[in-house]
Amino acid sequence: MIAMIFEYWFDPDSPQIFNEYLEASDEVRAALIDIDGFHSVERFESSTDPGKYVAIGFFDDETAVSAWRNHSQHRHAQAIGRHRFFTDYRIRMARVIRDYGPAHRDQAPVDSRAAHDIEV
């Protein structure tokens, strides 16, 4: 699994730009849902840095990432983002090395399972 971490900034004094971005983002998201190997993307607003947002997306593999990156609507949105929406951005792509939660612990580190997988 591959995780995309996309940090981006808007001018906090230009709310109309942010609203335009939301429209464009919703359209692209709707088109990307059908990409094989695309799981999800969610957007979060920073509580400490005005105008900063983070989007986190998940993909099965590089084939899915490439399909997402090269989708025509996404390429168009990228161009608009660079030239109109964002004052700055940074993208990180990372391989997920562990994926676990309270019900699915098989990928949890051994020491964490030893410390926490007990009934209280």
Q: Please tell me the pTM assigned to this model.
A: 0.85
pLDDT in tens, 33-74: 889 999 999 999 999 998 899 999 999 999 999 999 999 999
* Domain spans, the chain: 2-98+106-113
Q: Does the pLDDT at position 119 exceed 70? A: no
The model's confidence at residue 120, banded by pLDDT at 50, 70 and 90, is very low
Class at the top of the CATH hierarchy for domain 2-98+106-113:
alpha beta
The overall average pLDDT reported for the chain is 90
Identify the burial level of 21 via C-beta atoms within 10 angstroms of its C-beta, where 0-12 means exposed, 13-18 middle and 19 or more buried.
buried
Mean pLDDT of 15-25: 87
Residues 6+ apart with CB under 8 A from 89: 6, 7, 8, 9, 81, 82
